[in-house]
Amino acid sequence: MKLKNFLTVLDITLLEEKISLNEVVISSNENPANRIVRAAIENRKLQLEKIKSYTADFYSKGLIRIKNAPEKFLGQEVKLDIGLDSTRSGVLYLSETISKIKYQKPNQLSEKISASKVSGDANGFSFNNASDVDFNFYKNTIEINAEIVSPIADYAFNYYRYKLEGVFYDNRGNLINKIKVIPRRENDRVFSGVIFVVDDQWSLYGLELSVTGSQIQTPAANLVTIKQNTSYDEQSNYWIVRSQTIEFEYGFLGFKGDGSFVANYSNYKLNPNFDSSVFTNEVLAFEAEANKKDSIYWNSFRPVPLTSEELTDYIRKDSLQTLKNSKTYQDSLDVKNNTFKIGNLISGYTYENSFEHKQFSISSPITGLNFNTVQGFNSNLNIDYTKRHDEYRKYVSFQSRLNYSYQTQKLRGNLGFRYKFNNINDLNIGFNAGTKVEQFNAQEPISRFLNDISSLAFENNFMKLFEKRFISVQYGQELFNGFRIRAAASFENRKTLFNNTNYTTFNRDNKTYTSNNPIAPLNFETAPFENHNIVKFKLEGSIRFGQKYLSYPGSKFNITNPKYPKLNISYEKGLGATNLNYNFDHISTRLTQNISLENKGTFSYNILAGSFFSGSEPAFMDFKHVNGNQTHVNMNGNYLSCFKNLGYYDLSTSENYFEYHLEHDFNGYILGKIPLLNSLNYNLIIGAHSFSTKQQKPYQEYSLGINNIGWGKYRFLRIDYVRSYQSGFINDGVLFGISL
């Protein structure tokens, strides 16, 4: 029908879909839904084999709303300059894309975006893409932050019960079974909802399945619902996905809302033969002028009409864009935001020139206050300036770090400069110079906060320090996809430091501080090294095997391929030392990976080895230091690069060494099956850790942990029980930590 007049009345009558439930006969025979699902499971692998490749036109639309946004968060004003209504509700994000996709089994997916539209940003590029919504329910698990068991997985009956809710016939005369999917346990990684199965063919006709935030262990999510509709392709005898909708509700820390991501597939070509050059590590790219398409183009190619809310949001934000980008408007916002407030004494102060993309910030000397036995009470002050260019793809920044010791009345400071050239290969250079106090272990295994508490409350001064005057230059970039290089050169003057205070808030009669000598904690007269100068060079390379990436105009975003590990190689050389024995050569290598085992959890490893081969013994700060923990608290959430029950410098060495950290997170696979415990939604984690050298017996730790501990949505806590061995049992302990 061709519309000749602008105002036209078009009456549409929807056909009623009739679902009938056959007569129910109670008998000892199998539940009819179980029979249908069992047939679908037996047919699952056949369905996966049918489609080895395809091409399709792809359309996506993303919408995120916020409802009743709070005016303040942690005492700070919440600024949402996105055109909210009087109830502080509205659209946070609205975007569309049109693209062509190519797929080849088992997991090759390539997408070329021809059109991209972002509400309120004429130069913006959407982050909607086909790979993020590629959900195939014929696979055993679907990844939605966690591996969620498909209702027709090989082991689905261990996780679901089924109920036949009714049947109906489609327009081709196929009998469609509507089956309700019921989780056996509330907190398992499972869906709930309905699936539609084609009788005799045992294929998925459609589905509507939901998963909760607690099931995928994403605190911000309340509910995520996936809807899929299919159509039959006679040539391939396959039901292909035509449309998919992902709806979600979120709520966290006072922020709440909902949204959806709509995907539409059309013009399928099934099982084409691709040239070997079609699929590369680039999984997404934009055509030139993809974000410049006009409304005529979008009205012609958009398969799903805009709602009145979406149309209004486009019109409102597009009309406001010119105003928001003007210097007058941005200056007026800066005047308000740059006003100094009393709260800045705690949070620090930031001055911003939005139009010129400049920012100046100074931290709070109050929150920078800390304590150690070398400096006593001291305060840190950070002053930063950043200028960004090319829509934030490159920047220049200057950093100043000041530290003043009230005990020794000494001021130390350093200046830094960094320039990032682009956002494609991340080429950057840097320069630093000054004087600072730092830990012998440059990885800083104990934070200032934990050292404050352990020192002032428990009289345990675990932090050991020395003074370094230095000049250094740095360089880094990705030379080619997956291979990144970093290099640094420095001149360092190192000086020993000693304790200057015995102050503690809670004095314990049976305890006293140890010395600042990590080699001899009870020796207060000697230092762990001689004062000296040294020149250091360090070259590091990292390889992410099989790394995929997204190509945006002017930017490259890397995607880790979980099938392959990451390899790091590092070479460090010290030369020209005033003490010739301190010259050294140190080479090390590290291999890391997280491996998904579907419904059985995630196995992770961090394996490293190294060698000192100069024949001399370097200064103590250049040793290989093993990250330990003596506070029984882990605040950084990293459990795969440290030991849980080891002194910070107990295993420091300048010999050849080997270290590994292994952990398996069952993600509810075990605890989710134990009555009563399964209602807590905890995760069981087991670990094994070891460090060894030629001269030392291997040190080993074995741990049993519980993760996802907390209340409601706030589940950041983890507790581990640890046992340590070295030529027999040493001791045990409990580690309390935060895991994000």
CA-to-CA distance for 219 and 252, rounded, in angstroms?
7
Whole-angstrom CA distances from 197 to 194, 210, 283, 485 are 10, 17, 32, 52
Quick one: tokens of 401? Answer: 């770090």
The alpha carbon of 246 is separated from its chain's Cα centroid by a whole number of angstroms, namely: 21
Which residue, among 104, 100, 107, 102, has the nearest Cα to 561 in the 3D structure? Answer: 107
CB 502 within 8 A of CB 537: no
The residue among 560, 540, 652 whose CA lies nearest residue 604 is 560
pLDDT tens across 556-565, in order? 999 998 899 9
The stretch 699-720 carries a mean pLDDT of: 92
- Specify which residues 118 forms β-bridges with: 95, 121
Could you give the domains of the chain? 52-323 (no CATH), 333-738 (2.40.160)
Q: What pLDDT, on the 0 to 100 scale, is given for residue 10?
A: 57
Q: For residues 21 and 168, what is the distance between their CA atoms, to the nearest angstrom? A: 9
The structure tokens 């975007």 sit at 95
**Residue labelled with tokens 């699952």:** 44
Q: Taking 50 as the threshold, does the pLDDT of residue 406 lie above it?
A: yes
Strands 714-725, 369-372: pairing is unpaired
Contact 672, 185 (CB under 8 A): yes
> Whose structure tokens read 């102050």?
503
Predicted local distance difference test score (pLDDT) of residue 382:
97
User: Sorting pLDDT into bands at 50, 70 and 90, what band is 88?
Assistant: confident
Complete DSSP assignment for 58-124: EEEEEEEEEBS--SEETTEE----S---TTS-EEEEEEEEEEEEEEETTTEEEEEEEEEEETTBTT-
Buried b (16+ CB within 10 A) or exposed e, 82-110: bbbeeeeebbbbbbbbbbbbbbbeeeebb
Q: Indicate the length of the chain as a whole number.
A: 740
Strand 282-286, strand 548-552: pairing? parallel
Residue 501: band (very low, low, confident or very high) from pLDDT cuts 50, 70, 90: very high
Cβ–Cβ under 8 Å, residues 224 and 35: no
| 700-720: average pLDDT | 92
User: Does the predicted model carry a pTM greater than 0.75?
Assistant: yes
Spatial distance between the Cα atoms of 720 and 468, rounded to a whole number of angstroms: 36
Identify the band that residue 247 occupies on the pLDDT scale cut at 50, 70 and 90. Answer: very high
Q: Write the burial class of residue 426 (CB in 10 Å: 0-12 exposed, 13-18 middle, 19+ buried).
A: middle
Distance CA 675, CA 590 (A): 41
DSSP label at residue 500? -
CB 602 within 8 Å of CB 592: no
Residue 28 has pLDDT above 60, yes or no: no
The Cα–Cα gap between 103 and 374 comes to 61
Backbone angles phi, psi at 450, to 5 degrees: -65, -35
The CA distance from 571 to 592, in Å, is 18
pLDDT range class, residue 24, cuts 50, 70, 90: very low
133: DSSP letter: G
Is 534 within 8 Å of 586 (Cβ atoms)? no
pLDDT at 318: 84
For 706, the token pair is 């519980």
